[in-house]
A and B are shown apart, each in its own frame.
Chain A
Amino acid sequence: GENVEQHPSTLSVQEGDSAVIKCTYSDSASNYFPWYKQELGKRPQLIIDIRSNVGEKKDQRIAVTLNKTAKHFSLHITETQPEDSAVYFCAASKRWSSASKIIFGSGTRLSIRP
């Protein structure tokens, strides 16, 4: 089955600096890669996603890149703000398939230093 690895497990950056979180996946059939932000005790919130036919996607301060050949994808947050502090999860799934269950990475705890 699919296995998603995520690094780093913790990340601390100065407010205003950029943060990068990296993930790899194992199943070459995966075609959909969402990123979630989870605050303590709450449900994961989808913040951005990318499909396998796209190499990069941007939404304001957040961008995601995908390298299908290497099976790598990354989340980039620019101009970080205190409210960006949370746990971020990458994930992979086979969208448009009856097997489209979402498999999560291990998570990155992001802390923004004032």
Chain B
Amino acid sequence: GAVVSQHPSWVICKSGTSVKIECRSLDFQATTMFWYRQFPKQSLMLMATSNEGSKATYEQGVEKDKFLINHASLTLSTLTVTSAHPEDSSFYICSAREGLAGGRDTQYFGPGTRLTVL
């Protein structure tokens, strides 16, 4: 089956610093990638949708200048949390979709990245 990886799996940083999280599709080309945030004991909340080569579409209430998303290639999307604060501490999960045609619109989830901001 399709595999999506994330790096790092966990990160601890100081308040005010920026953190970059990578999401890679390992055995397929992902035209669309999604970024979710999950706080403890809560659901996955969609943050943004990114299409390769174009600007990400952010969900209402998500600060685009704080959560920078780049989907520069068909196998890599990055999420950068800028000027991180303790309230940004969360589990960040990406998912990737190959395309819409031919039954390839299934989304495959990455293993998640746990961010702790001190």
Q: Which residues of A contact B (CB under 8 A)?
A: 1, 41-44, 89, 95-98, 100-107, 109
Contact = CB atoms under 8 A, between A and B. Distances in A.
Contacts of A42: 111-112
B43 A89 contact: yes
A107 B43 contact: yes
A14 B37 CA distance: 32
A44 B109 CA distance: 7
Nearest to B101: A96
29 contacts: A1-B60, A41-B114, A42-B111, A43-B93, A43-B109, A43-B111, A44-B44, A44-B93, A44-B109, A95-B105, A96-B100, A97-B100, A98-B100, A100-B97, A100-B100, A101-B49, A102-B34, A102-B46, A102-B95, A103-B46, A104-B43, A104-B44, A104-B45, A104-B46, A105-B43, A106-B42, A106-B43, A107-B43, A109-B41
A41 B43 contact: no
Nearest to A45: B109
A107 B45 CA distance: 12
Interface in B55-110: 60, 91, 93, 95, 97, 100, 105, 107, 109-110
A50 to B, nearest CB: 14
B112 A107 contact: no
A32 B72 CA distance: 29
Interface in B29-50: 34, 41-46, 49
Centre residue among A103, A105, A106 by max chain B CB count within 10 A = A103
Interface residues of B, number: 21
Contacts of B46: 101-104
Centre residue among A42, A100, A105, A106 by max chain B CB count within 10 A = A100
B112 A43 contact: yes
Contact of B34 (A97, A101, A109): A101
Contact of A96 (B95, B105, B107, B111): B105
A40 B110 CA distance: 14
A95 to B, nearest CB: 6
Contacts of B49: 101
Contacts of A89: 43-44
